[in-house]
Amino acid sequence: MSKSVVLGFSGGLDTTYCAIYLSKELGYDVHTVTVNTGGFSQKELQEIQQRAESLGVKSHKNIDGTKQYYHTIIRYLIFGNVLKNQTYPLSVSAERLSQAQHIVDYAKSLGVQAVAHGSTGAGNDQVRFDMMIETYMPEVELITPVRDQALSRSEEISFLQSHGVEVDASEAAYSINKGLWGTSIGGVETLQSMGDLPEKVWPTQRKRTDELELQLHFQQGELSGIDAEHVEDSVEAIERLNKIGGEFAIGRDIHVGDTIIGIKGRVAFEAPAAMMMIKAHHALEKHVLTKWQLHWKDTISSFYGNWLHEGLIMDPVMRDIEAFLESSQQRVTGSVLLRLHPYRFTVVGVESPYDLMQSSFGAYGEEQGTWTGEDVKGFTRIFGLQNKIYHQTKKRP
């Protein structure tokens, strides 16, 4: 009886190598699967399928994971205003977990004996894929040929050519990973601590030099409209904002952070929709949530983002945090006006029926509406009493 394996397949060099190695060297029936989390066009998906079939795989499947990606991950990143190290919207790390879950579900449906991925031993993705597979399918064999054999690019090319597979041997100067929540770019500049990407390297080139006012409408924390248009599909709305913001080259930055495997990593990214939505959502929250709601949201959301980045989305504490985040969004309803400029945007202001900055309660620094000067005198004495006692006590011999 033949053995079968599901291989997460992108059509690149590493997964092409895996498809041939698993089939020709290990004797597996290979079932390839590509999970689209917003990074592939229909034309690209067709080309990937043709590539897989040309390698002689038993079957290939394209899965559209964009809607599930939004509902199970992205919406919570928005609710939490999650930016790792106050910079990075977790574009790649979030989508890898969504892709891994789909791969596991597909492998379960086929009843295969093994699951494989093409990650190398140098990055975070290997940990994310491994943990998801080992958590949800501990009974299957996990195969990672490129990592286990510590293969170089030239060794993979030679192997494929020896099996009659045509390979583009040109060395790409930059590694680009495109997804719904952002695009990451790695290259020579990101391998060192100094230097920005050349303008021509950014996948989305600036087209506009004017200014544009854009109004985002939120209903209980989720995007419900763009300008006068109601949002029916959250994925399509994000794609639209990526296009609008991309024309201004908005959302570009370079993130430096700690990798799961313990070293520092530097990556460039462009994420127009993510940055505009998170900043607009956060501005609205500052108007409608209380001081302690904001405090605990910041604290809990930081942990949520870090744990997600580390690949631990399956930890039950994440479901607890998601419940907290959903509860916190009950009054996050209103409109935020953004002004877009080349390479940047500003938050102009907020309108909400739940705005706590209502003039009837007082205007900061100008006039009080619900207290008197005598109230403040008494409040100050009580509020500062413990410090007063401490400092007077300290002076005693």
pLDDT digits (tens, 9 = 90+) for 86-124: 999 999 889 999 999 999 999 999 999 999 999 998 889
What is residue 175's predicted lDDT score, i.e. its pLDDT? 87
What is residue 1's predicted lDDT score, i.e. its pLDDT? 65
Are 267 and 70 in contact by the 8 Å Cβ rule? The answer is no
Q: What is the widest separation between alpha-carbon atoms in the chain?
A: 90
Q: How far apart are CA 375 and CA 126, in angstroms?
A: 60
Confidence of residue 397 (pLDDT cuts 50, 70, 90): low
Q: What is the pTM of this model?
A: 0.92
Q: How far apart are CA 108 and CA 288, in angstroms?
A: 44
**Which residue range forms the structural domain that includes residue 249?**
175-289+331-351
Could you tell me the two tokens for 109?
Answer: 């449906």
DSSP codes joined into one string, 174-235? -EEEEETTEEEEESGGGGSSS----GGGSSS-----S-EEEEEEEETTEEEEETTEEPS-HH
The answer to whether residues 198 and 148 belong to one domain is no
The answer to whether residues 266 and 234 belong to one domain is yes
| Residues sharing a CB contact under 8 Å with residue 378, sequence separation 6 or more, in sequence order | none
* Mean pLDDT, residues 314-341: 98
Query: Into how many domains does the chain fold?
Result: 3
What is residue 370's predicted lDDT score, i.e. its pLDDT? 79
Q: Is the pLDDT of residue 143 over 90?
A: yes
Closest by CA to 137, choosing from 115, 120, 110, 116, is: 115
The full length of the chain comes to 397
The answer to whether residues 146 and 16 belong to one domain is yes
Four-residue CA torsion sign, 86, 287, 218, 210:
negative
The answer to whether residues 157 and 195 belong to one domain is no
What is residue 359's predicted lDDT score, i.e. its pLDDT? 61
The answer to whether residues 92 and 153 belong to one domain is yes
